[in-house]
Structure 1
Amino acid sequence: MEKIENQISEIKEELQESPEDADLFNELGIGYQMLGEYEQAVKAYQQALQKDQNHFKAHFNLANTFFELNKIDQAVNHYLDALEIRPDYVPALNNLADIYEIADEDERARELFEYITKIKPDDAMGYFNLANHHLRANNTVEAGRCYKKAIELDPEFHEAYNNIGLMLKHIGQYEKAISYFDQCLEIAPDYEPAQEDLKACQEALKKS
């Protein structure tokens, strides 16, 4: 906390020398956002955008802050502004997709998650997020396919192994689930969700 406050003080001093620097206002907003001072963050990001309307990261950060303030329409507008400037900016695409999903606009959300995998075809995280979306929508076949694609792109993606194991556990395929939990824990031995579900599957097998 004190470190962030010191950084904010330093940024303010720099702004006295460079009052037109949009990047500094964006950094100031980040500092306030980290402190949970969202209204101050909004003011800083808006000042950044007054200096540079095409500062896509300021649009993105402002959108995140509006989301924290539950000002969803304003958040969406600034995510869209960021994407108009940088159409392939994945963080904005992801967060916008999340908002659409929360609003039960599943088709729009899915389109964005799928779009991310098209523009970043070698990024395992894109497939992982798409898989999570399918899983939340109970599209388990597609979820499994996307988790496996994430693993193909990144064999060390332990959360993907875990989530496949979780799906198998829920349909009672305990032996297969255990193999995925084992693979997850081989990569990340301290991953508690896999530890707990592995134990649950082993106990279920003993009772069967």
Structure 2
Amino acid sequence: HPTAEAYTFLGWTYRFQGKIEDAIAECKKAIQIDPEFGNPYNDIGAYLIEKDQYDEAVPWLERALQSRRYDSYHYPHHNLGRAYMAKENFAKARYHFEQALKLSPDYAPAKEALEKIRRKVQ
């Protein structure tokens, strides 16, 4: 039987092929197998951001933060920051980028995003 990880990795493969809908479908299969595995929630959120579906992305990313089995909580924080930045909600974006850096102080994309916010808000 395929694991949640296997479906998630297959989703990544589809993503790299530009098949976003197929990637999302594989992530949903992963969630059916293991609802506490955080990666597929984050990945769905990231894929929806790629499709400029920011409002749809937020609940998936918030669910990733609640997952019990997830090692990289800075990713959903960063992706929430990206979604809120796109919606020009700079306060929420800043909060999530800062949270990403608390969890992973050397995470360059969050540092760069905070710098962008500083430039926009000045």
The TM-score, its normalising length taken from structure 1, stands at 0.47
In 2, Cα distance between the equivalents of 1:79 and 1:11? 24
More helix by share: 1
State the AA in 1 paired with 2:39: D
Residue number in structure 2 paired with 1:162:
none
Whose radius of gyration is greater, 1 or 2? 1
In 1, Cα distance between the equivalents of 2:54 and 2:120? 22
Deviations 1:145-197 (A, max 9, x none): xxxxxxxxxxxxxxxxxxxxxxxxxxxxxxxxxxxxxxxxxxxxxxxxxxxxx
Residue number in structure 2 paired with 1:3:
19
Partner SS state of residue 83, structure 1: helix
**Which shifted more, 1-10 or 31-40?**
1-10
Residue number in structure 2 paired with 1:47:
63
Identity %: 30
Q: Number of matched residues?
A: 104
In 2, Cα distance between the equivalents of 1:7 and 1:89? 25
Q: Please, which runs of 5 or more residues in structure 2 have no aligned partner?
A: 1-14
Deviations 1:38-91 (A, max 9, x none): 111111100000115960011001100111111110000001101111111111
In 1, Cα distance between the equivalents of 2:117 and 2:27? 32
In 2, Cα distance between the equivalents of 1:58 and 1:17? 20
Residue number in structure 1 paired with 2:30:
14
Residue 31 of structure 1, CA deviation: 1.3
Residue 94 of structure 1, CA deviation: 0.8
Partner SS state of residue 41, structure 2: helix
Residue number in structure 2 paired with 1:111:
none
Q: Does 1:38 align with 2:54?
A: yes
Structure 1 runs (4+) greater than 4 angstroms displaced: none
Residue number in structure 2 paired with 1:60:
78
In 1, Cα distance between the equivalents of 2:107 and 2:99? 11
In 2, Cα distance between the equivalents of 1:39 and 1:27? 15
Q: Please, which runs of 5 or more residues in structure 1 have no aligned partner?
A: 105-208
In 1, Cα distance between the equivalents of 2:23 and 2:88? 27
Residue 33 of structure 1, CA deviation: 1.1
The TM-score, its normalising length taken from structure 2, stands at 0.79
